[in-house]
Amino acid sequence: MLTLTCEDFLARISEFIDGDLDGAWRQAVSDHARDCPHCAVILDTTQRTIRLAGEAQLFALPPEVAERLHARLAAVLAPAAVEASAELAPASLMAPPPPPRPRGWLEGWNWPLAWAVLGAVLIIFGGVSWWQQARIRTLQGWLIDAHCAARYIAAGDMPVSHPRWCLLQPACVASGYGVMTAQGRFWPFNRVGSIRALLMLRASNRQQNFRITVRGEERGPILYVRSLRWAKAKGLISVRLRAPAPSPRLRQAVYMTATAP
């Protein structure tokens, strides 16, 4: 005589209901269902379910029973659905997202606007550079202090024979230096240019006729010196300047202003 456990009973309940078990096994399953109340309930419920499913007529469940059944089915089926989707999903979809890549300092720029700003800056820089170059002067003339230059302008003369000892007088040094061109115009130097001119005078052995070539930037009436050197003995010229010589009345006014106490 066969003695079944609950596990053996559950393993053969389908065959028992379908009538596929032989006499000894069928009797053993029947005896276990009679002796075990839990397995008896399982057998009875399974048979009723199969019988109801096979009938054509459907019965509506009471609302409270339907709600409990749906809640129970959802609680049982939800983990199974998650596991099934995890098994079917590609590994690339289930893998954790990669950490965010740090953004470079060039990312996120508005490149059309950046190029437009760069172009505007280059245009402005080029315009400023052209404007500065347009004010660069290369002049040749005589080195003279501002105090004595007023006297030469008033007389309409050139400081060809102006002596060195006069250029080094305290009053002349204090007035600053400049260049007087062949057109009779005096260009005063900036402070740095005057200092360079004074150093050249002190280092020179010349006693008169201090002809120079100077290159500088025109800022109003002042010439900001960039380079300063003694001119050659011949070929005195004035570049980019074609100013007419001042009238006698203007010379007298300049001289009176310069020599006023």
User: Taking the alpha carbons of 166, 171, 174, 177 in that order, is the dihedral positive or negative?
Assistant: negative
Environment class of 173 (CB within 10 Å of its CB; exposed 0-12, middle 13-18, buried 19+): middle
Distance CA 180, CA 86 (A): 95
Q: How high is the pLDDT of residue 234?
A: 55
More confident residue, 242 or 191: 191
Distance CA 43, CA 17 (A): 8
| Start-end of H helices in the chain | 6-18, 23-35, 37-54, 63-88, 91-94, 111-134, 146-155, 164-167, 170-175, 191-203, 248-259
Asked if the structure places residue 20 within a domain, the reply is yes
Domain span holding position 35: 1-55
**Last residue of some domain: 36, 55, 74?**
55
- The answer on 242 and 144 residing in a single domain is yes
- The answer on 138 and 50 residing in a single domain is no
Asked if the structure places residue 252 within a domain, the reply is yes
Distance CA 102, CA 245 (A): 71
Render pLDDT for 106-163 as a digit per residue (tens, 0 to 9). Answer: 566 676 777 778 888 888 766 656 655 567 878 889 999 998 998 888 888 888 888 9
- The answer on 166 and 49 residing in a single domain is no
Q: How high is the pLDDT of residue 239?
A: 42
- The answer on 252 and 139 residing in a single domain is yes
Contacts of 175 (CB under 8 A, 6+ apart): 145, 146, 147
Render pLDDT for 167-212 as a digit per residue (tens, 0 to 9). Answer: 999 989 999 999 998 888 898 999 999 998 999 888 888 888 889 9
Asked if the structure places residue 106 within a domain, the reply is no
Q: How high is the pLDDT of residue 254?
A: 47
Render pLDDT for 70-82 as a digit per residue (tens, 0 to 9). Answer: 888 788 777 766 6
Asked if the structure places residue 122 within a domain, the reply is no
In whole numbers, what is the pLDDT of the chain averaged over residues?
77
Asked if the structure places residue 118 within a domain, the reply is no
**Last residue of some domain: 55, 81, 97?**
55
Asked if the structure places residue 121 within a domain, the reply is no
How many independent structural domains does the chain possess? 2
Q: How high is the pLDDT of residue 128?
A: 58
- The answer on 41 and 149 residing in a single domain is no
Does residue 65 have a pLDDT over 70? yes
- The answer on 243 and 144 residing in a single domain is yes
Integer CA distances (angstroms), 11 to 6, 36, 120, in order = 9, 15, 86
**Last residue of some domain: 9, 31, 55?**
55
The band of 241, judged by pLDDT with boundaries at 50, 70 and 90, is: very low
Q: How high is the pLDDT of residue 240?
A: 42
In this prediction, what percent of the chain has a pLDDT beyond 90?
Answer: 11
